[in-house]
């Protein structure tokens, strides 16, 4: 009997340890802002890298690695940035968005951001 009680205590102690170890952890309050600023910086660096390339240098395939990497990294960071912003907006509205709503808003955000970037670029050219 004594042996069974110690086994029960061990299981109970183990369950308590598991409960404590697997308790949800709140992320830092500024995590979303830090993530957004990092993604913005990465996107801007990738855009600057692409702007710096001259078309004449693109004739040699050996020169394609850096612009290709800039496109992939910048595109990924830009897409993640749109998702972070869409999620923050949904959270501010206090409602859980469906996957379809989130995708629709993300596409609208991407389109709006692309238009803004194009307008900025056209303004610089003129």
Give the whole-angstrom CA distance, residue 8 versus residue 17.
Answer: 14
- Asked whether residue 24 carries a pLDDT value surpassing 70, the answer given is yes
CA distances from 112 to 15, 68, 82, 83 (A): 50, 24, 11, 14
- Name the pTM for this structure: 0.53
pLDDT tens-digit profile of 38-80?
Answer: 988 998 898 888 887 777 677 778 878 888 888 888 888 888 8
């Amino acid at each position: 009997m004594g042996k069974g009680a110690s086994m029960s205590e061990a299981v109970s102690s183990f369950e308590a340890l598991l409960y404590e170890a697997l308790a949800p952890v709140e992320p830092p309050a500024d995590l979303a802002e830090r993530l957004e600023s990092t993604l913005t910086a990465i996107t801007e660096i990738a855009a600057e890298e692409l702007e710096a390339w001259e078309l004449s240098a693109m004739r040699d395939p050996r020169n394609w690695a850096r612009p290709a990497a800039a496109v992939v990294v910048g595109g990924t960071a830009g897409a993640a940035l749109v998702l972070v912003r869409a999620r923050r907006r949904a959270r501010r509205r206090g409602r859980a968005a469906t996957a379809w709503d989130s995708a629709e808003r993300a596409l609208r955000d991407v389109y709006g951001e692309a238009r803004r970037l194009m307008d900025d670029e056209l303004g610089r050219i003129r």
